[in-house]
Chain A
Amino acid sequence: MLLTIGGYASSHREAPLISNDPLADNTDVYAFKSPDDPNTITIIANYIPFQLPDGGPNYYTFGERIRYEIHIKNKANTATDDITYRFTFFRNNEDPSTFFNIRLGKQNLKTTFVCEKSVNGGPFMAIVSNGVVPAYNIGPRSIDTPGLGLGKSYNELIEQSIATASSGEKVFCGPADDPFFVDLAGAFDVGNFRPDGNPVNAPKDGLARYNVHSIALKIPVSLLQKDGKSVSQATTILDPDFVIGVWASASRQKIKTLYNGGDVGFDGEYVQVSRLGMPLTNEAVIPIGMKDKWNTLTPYGGNDLQFAQYFTNPELALYMDDSQFGGAVPSLKALRIQSKSLGSFDFRNGKPGLFGLKGNAALDGTALAEAAFGKVLLPDNASPRAVDLLPIFYTGVPNLKPYQLATGKAGNPLAAGKPFIHNFLPTLGDMLRLNMAVPATPRNDPNFSSLGLVKAAVLGLTDATYANPNLQFIPNMDGFPNGRRLEDDVTTIELQAVGGVVLAAIGLWYDDFVPGQSPVTANLGNVLKFSAGVTKNDTTLKTSFPYVQTPWRGLNYTKVTKF
């Protein structure tokens, strides 16, 4: 028999070089106080972006031979994870004779999972050993129709797949509407974000009608708190012992190229191929050439310090600074960083910020004192944002002077003010940090806002109910960057933060502030009015776990303009 095994195009097989790894691509991480249960925290990690609802015949599902992990820290003095949840997925074809995903009640790519948990570096123990991932939401014949399809409504499939772990958590793994929202077309057009509410050229959610795959956990606070305490044992709503850091990852096992065997030749080591803690860090802050490296690292052991420069002098700040490229991106014109706050403090890239105060007695008793965290927060005279952006991303923000609202400070930003955040867990690495003692803001509260902690700060500065120096619950104190709720508009919040809004909140006002007059100046107003366009998801959220909405149905989802 003559069978020529020649190459096509020949002498060399051109393997792909560029394909992201969507199955292992962690797109977003959320961690928030469950709105319907003050005793639990919900953590959601999303993977596999841009899933078209009608993306057959091989629908999306979690990948095999990938470790999907959710990492939690609740102590700053330990070297690695304090709790790790590890998910491993398995696929099975119940009817290999068909290319249909579902036929006659049989499902191909039927996906199940095992969830294991390790606490304080101990061995991994299975806490869900027979988890089921719902089928993709293809259409009524595949899903609802008895005999032909699975014979259940899609929501039944979701409900039935919510597992209760042997250690007490609720667990859901499956397709869902992608809760993230962003005006992609505006972003593509050189940052030409279209303001929310403008009738001429309305912003459009570039992620509308896409599904993702969610791993969701609803975890009792007592399992997450470092000493096993429940919420009722918190001393205050900002109890420093109730802070957790959360990040998620996906890892693949490497193989040894040559070895003496006939199978795969894994050498046992898993390599992390994606990680995500704070939103936007990896995508927009870490340079492309460093991305592979960033993805392989944990945020522990000082690994992330090499990336700190991207926070202390963020590139984005150049476009909010008229002495640099302030004119290059018109839609950011509302954001102008303080260059002479209180007449002297310059927070533009390369400027001293508060460094001039280093060693000054005025810093005694504040987080900026050398005896406290001065080394990190005031490292040199050219890292102005080490004082605000770096802690937001790398340590969390302590409820210490000067990180309190200007309310009650009588014009001195270094004085004690109104507490509004404490999610301090100083590990010097990128994580989403949440204080679990903070109550949830009811979603029907008239003050509920997708601006998260920025809105809480505004209320604490301007609303008579909260304009006092005492610690009290302000709506949205449970919002980003104190954790991240599904509703939080992190794009806008982070852009406002780069624009100096946190500095203003603690009394380092914008340049147009006149002493003795209201600090809510035109510049501050512009920053607070700024939005990145789309400010909410294209559908609702569920009021109960897993909160993410049912995935769009392939057969009959309503299409929308995304651009």
Chain B
Amino acid sequence: MKIYTLVINRLMPVLGLILLAFLVFVQVSCTKSPKETASTDVSSTMDIPPLFERRGELASAVEWQRTKEKVADLNGKIRKEPNDVKPRLQIAVIYLSEARITGEHPYYYPAILKILDGVLAMDPKNFEATTFNASVKMSQHQFAEARELAEKARQINPNNAYVYGVLVDANVELGNYEEAVAMSDKMQALKPSLESYSRASYLREIYGSYPSSIEAMKLAVQAGLPGSEPQCWSKNILGHLYETTGQLDNAEKQYDGILVMRPSYAFALAGKARILKARKEYPLALATLEKAAKIMPEFSFHEQMAEIYALQGDQEKAKKKYVEVAKMLDEDARSGHAVDLELCKLYTKSGQLDSAKKYGLIEYRKRPKNIDVNHALAWVYFNQHDLKNAQQHMQIALRTGSKDPELLQEAGAIELALGNAGQRDKLVATARKTNPKFTL
């Protein structure tokens, strides 16, 4: 007899909770009651790592109290029924959400993997555990593994939209864009939602259509519950798209809108800081980034600070900050997070080109078809005056027809260095269509 699991997040329709408690995991061949088979000698993979206590601004977010209560409830269930996989999966879902909200990835991802290992030890073909495993691998930038796990999950159950989301993401990161588009269309057919609209938006951006990318992300925002983390995420990306296309006022509106609903949404503060930086209001931009960095340990906030120090002419301070960021990334790497591309970009900014190349190549070997990886590597080679390699990687980076102004401007710089002024003019003109204000 197969028993199915119910995965519930904080907003699950309440009716589902009623019977949730009755559904105890039973092996196909099981003939004893779960109580009779429950092991009293719980092994370490069966232990549930505790919630990471939120601090400061994040602790005042509306859902935190309920999250704590729910995790306590679920732990109570696990103590009573150690062999029941459902409460374990529910805690995994909550931890996935907490990882997003708090940015405490080094704590949460290993914790989630441990919980999922416990579930898979009991039920090796558990669909949810396999899918969540794929999600965590995505978050840790283990893209090939994520894709493999998601495909495995899809074999178990081809009718679930979530798994197609992971497949879109993994294929994008691996540079399998055509497959990502196919998976995105399947996801749409199963469940149009914030999750599927936002993925379509990203693919449209990759394929060079900012207007339709923006429209799809507006749909994602509209589909979200006001003030929820997923909706704030979507608004934040919409802000990004506005920034990329030079619409700073629209971008700022998005960031301000998020902060009214969710003052602890640090990425919106970072967005505000970018707008301030663009307006050359450096002290205020830095103060805003400090505020964001207090909320969540996100390396990119510190990277932004370093850029501003450099713009202020304080190269020494910028350099120190870059070193600090590299340390943060190293810490992330120790928790299983692959950060080679981030390090490549970081070392490019700080002028440490040999290190940049080293990390860029590590990433390139893992995913040679990804346009972002090739873009980063092309720029490293350009800065090292290795124009042949720069052009080769840039051609791969341009293969989807991306209209990203930074990408096109850099491609133009490479072409100019190669003596192809006409080609450079074309690229720059296209870049300016996307964002007339952007210059390298």
User: A residues within 8 Å of B by Cβ?
Assistant: 1-25, 27-28, 49-50, 52, 55, 57-60, 63-65, 99, 180, 182, 184-192, 206-207, 252-259, 261-265, 271, 273, 279-280, 282-284, 287-293, 295-296, 315-316, 318-319, 324-329, 332, 349, 491, 532, 563
Contact = CB atoms under 8 A, between A and B. Distances in A.
B309 interface: no
A15 B199 contact: yes
A15 B202 contact: yes
B162 A283 contact: no
A272 B303 CA distance: 43
Interface in B399-430: 404, 406
Contacts of B226: 58-60
Contacts of A265: 212, 215-216
B3 A315 contact: yes
Nearest to A10: B342
14 contacts: A9-B300, A15-B233, A52-B62, A57-B261, A59-B226, A65-B222, A99-B260, A187-B18, A189-B77, A288-B6, A290-B157, A292-B162, A328-B35, A332-B22
Interface in B170-226: 172-173, 181, 184-185, 188-200, 202-204, 207, 209, 211-212, 215-216, 219, 222-226
Contacts of B14: 27, 49-50, 180, 182, 184, 206-207
Closest 10 CB pairs of A and B: A287-B4, A283-B16, A58-B226, A284-B19, A262-B211, A8-B300, A252-B192, A16-B230, A19-B230, A191-B21
B216 to A, nearest CB: 6
Contact of B188 (A7, A254, A328): A254
Contact of B141 (A11, A21, A319): A11
Contacts, number: 319
A257 B267 contact: no
Interface of B: 1, 3-7, 9, 11-24, 26, 33-35, 62, 69-70, 73-74, 76-77, 80-81, 93, 96-97, 100, 127-128, 135, 138-139, 141, 156-157, 159-162, 165-166, 169, 172-173, 181, 184-185, 188-200, 202-204, 207, 209, 211-212, 215-216, 219, 222-230, 233-234, 237, 240, 243-244, 260-261, 267, 270, 274, 277-278, 298-301, 303, 307, 311, 339, 341-342, 345, 363, 370, 372-373, 404, 406, 437-440
A255 B202 contact: no
B307 A4 contact: yes
A283 B278 contact: no
Given A19-B11, A255-B197, A258-B204, A190 B18 contact: no
A395 B373 CA distance: 57
What secondary structure prevails in chain A residues at the interface with B? loop
A563 B69 contact: yes
B157 A280 contact: no
B252 to A, nearest CB: 13
Contacts of B160: 289, 291-293
Given A25-B13, A184-B14, A254-B189, A1 B230 contact: no
B431 to A, nearest CB: 12
Nearest to B367: A11
B413 to A, nearest CB: 14
Contact of B439 (A1, A55, A60): A1
Nearest to B266: A8
Contact of B4 (A289, A293, A316): A289
B111 to A, nearest CB: 17
Contacts of A264: 212, 215-216, 219
Contacts of A254: 188-189, 192, 196
B300 A58 contact: no
B135 A19 contact: no
A273 B139 contact: no
Given A16-B100, A49-B11, A63-B223, A292 B190 contact: yes
Which one of B76, B215, B299, B373 has the greatest number of beta carbons of chain A within 10 Å?
B215
A322 B76 CA distance: 24
Contacts of A206: 14, 17
A9 B18 contact: no
Contacts of B6: 283-284, 288
A491 B18 contact: yes
Contacts of A292: 159-162, 190-191
B18 A283 contact: yes
B9 A289 contact: no
A263 B62 CA distance: 35
B19 A316 contact: yes
B172 A5 contact: no
A180 B373 CA distance: 52
Contacts of A284: 6, 15-16, 18-20, 23
Contacts of A180: 14-15
B19 A258 contact: no
Nearest to A291: B160
Contact of A17 (B73, B135, B185, B204): B135
Contacts of B339: 10
A133 to B, nearest CB: 15
A252 B212 CA distance: 18
B215 A257 contact: no
Given A1-B437, A1-B438, A190-B81, A279 B15 contact: yes
Contacts of A289: 4, 127-128, 156-157, 159-160
Contacts of B222: 63-65
A287 B4 CA distance: 5
A190 B20 CA distance: 8
Contacts of A257: 181, 184-185, 188, 199-200, 203-204
A27 B16 CA distance: 10
Given A257-B203, A349-B1, A18 B96 contact: yes
A1 B24 CA distance: 60
Contacts of A263: 211-212, 215
A19 B17 contact: no
Contact of A295 (B18, B191, B274): B191
Contact of B166 (A17, A63, A532): A17
